[in-house]
Amino acid sequence: MAYVIATANMKGGVGKTTLSVNLAAALAKDYGKRVLVFDLDTQISATLGLMSPNVFAKHRKEKRTLKQLLEQTFQINNSNSINIKDAIHYSICQVKNFDLLPGDIELYDEFVVAEMLHEEAFAFDKLDFQFVWNRFERNLITGILKPVIDDYDFIILDCAPGYNLMTRSGLFASDYYLLPMKPEPLSVIGVQLLKRRIDELKRIHESEGGLAVEMLGIVFTMSGNFITGTGMYHRKVMQRIAQDFDIEKIFKTQIPLDIAVAKAFDSFMPVVLSNPQSTGAKSFVQLTQDFLQKLNDREQKNQQLATQNLAAIG
């Protein structure tokens, strides 16, 4: 079964998409993993970072994007039903086992979703709207991924900034989330806000199946730029983050500001593929190694805890 990893931050423009596509590409190309990138953002930056607008337009015309899969869940346009496997674009950027589920510039109409859930709650008079909504949120993305969950080692969810339905549902489908941030004060607030929101989500859903997602770590992106520099100020922001979070949560590898990283979007390829010799690309490959190590350590810790808990019960 794949590990599902979300990249999330309330704040926009902190490098979520750049991290998603480069981590995914490095996992596939450099570490031989089977990887799916799942674009949950209507800005479709991950999609356009991996395929040209022409190829995307073709997918959209053929109704092979996330929008179609959501519409099926909402029971709209049932006549044209497709499987997630039909929507996935395989061997993206000509890398084996590197696949993309394209997003869409329109995903769902909030009114239609609310109406559908309201009708559902009404049909079963024992169910209240909040219960039906929570269940829907928990199952939406998990349900879409179910047919392919065994086909991959990693599924990377690229979330939109903020905290919309797609992000919340994506977090329910995820084992871990990564929090990319620029080392600057407003990013610190974005990190705190997201953590607070996730804690709240855990509390709300506690009695109904819970929320298992854990933060795997914080990745400093675009570090060493003209605002933060690399000196005292940069370190101060990092110290603030280290005060709020366990220092182990901060990835040792930082992603530097590198024009090659931004330019890679012009070639519809992540920098680890388009310019592997660049400083940015090398940092992403190093970060991917740290990611695998962190994941391994965390899984071992969780297993130890589970064994201890079992022993305590027995």
Binding site for ligand ATP (CB under 6 A): 12-18, 41, 43, 45, 161, 221-222, 255, 257-258, 261-262, 265, 280
Nearer to ligand ATP, 14 or 215 (CB): 14
Nearer to ligand ATP, 41 or 71 (CB): 41
Residue 22 binds Mg ion, judged by CB under 5 A: no
Instruction: Please tell me the distance from the alpha carbon of residue 31 to that of residue 9, in angstroms, as a whole number.
Output: 26
First to last CA, the chain: 28
Q: Least distance to Mg ion from the beta carbon of 166, Å?
A: 12
Q: Are 34 and 154 in contact (CB under 8 A)?
A: yes
Q: Which amino acid is at 23?
A: L
State the binding partner of 223 from ligand ATP, Mg ion, none, CB within 5 to 8 A by kind: none
Q: Which helix (H) or strand (E) holds 282?
A: helix 279-313
Q: Least distance to ligand ATP from the beta carbon of 12, Å?
A: 3
State the binding partner of 104 from Mg ion, ligand ATP, none, CB within 5 to 8 A by kind: none
| Residue 101: strand, helix, or coil | strand
Nearer to ligand ATP, 132 or 160 (CB): 160
Residue 254 binds Mg ion, judged by CB under 5 A: no
Window contacting Mg ion (CB under 5 A); options: 37-45, 108-116, 234-242, 303-311 = 37-45
Instruction: Rule CB under 5 A: choose which of 2, 8, 15, 17 binds Mg ion.
Output: 17
Q: What are the contacts of 298-306 at 24+ separation with CB within 8 A?
A: 298/176, 298/214, 298/216
Q: Are 290 and 219 in contact (CB under 8 A)?
A: no
Instruction: Please tell me the distance from the alpha carbon of residue 157 to that of residue 167, in angstroms, as a whole number.
Output: 9
Nearer to ligand ATP, 71 or 184 (CB): 184
State the binding partner of 12 from Mg ion, ligand ATP, none, CB within 5 to 8 A by kind: ligand ATP
Residue 16 binds Mg ion, judged by CB under 5 A: yes
Instruction: Please tell me the distance from the alpha carbon of residue 211 to that of residue 209, in angstroms, as a whole number.
Output: 7
State the binding partner of 47 from Mg ion, ligand ATP, none, CB within 5 to 8 A by kind: none
Helix runs in 259-278, H state only? 259-263, 271-274
Nearer to Mg ion, 17 or 275 (CB): 17
Rounded to the nearest 10 degrees, what angle do helices 110-123 and 129-145 cross at?
120
Q: Least distance to ligand ATP from the beta carbon of 13, Å?
A: 4
Residue 18 binds Mg ion, judged by CB under 5 A: no
Q: Are 280 and 261 in contact (CB under 8 A)?
A: yes
Residue 45 binds Mg ion, judged by CB under 5 A: yes
Nearer to ligand ATP, 201 or 271 (CB): 271
State the binding partner of 255 from Mg ion, ligand ATP, none, CB within 5 to 8 A by kind: ligand ATP
State the binding partner of 173 from ligand ATP, Mg ion, none, CB within 5 to 8 A by kind: none
User: What DSSP line would sit under 51-85, residue for residue?
Assistant: S-HHHHHHHHHTT-SHHHHHHHHTTSSGGG---HH
| Residue 98: strand, helix, or coil | strand
> Rounded to an integer, what is the distance from CA 147 to the centroid of its chain?
18
Write out the residues near Mg ion by the rule CB under 5 A.
Answer: 16-17, 45
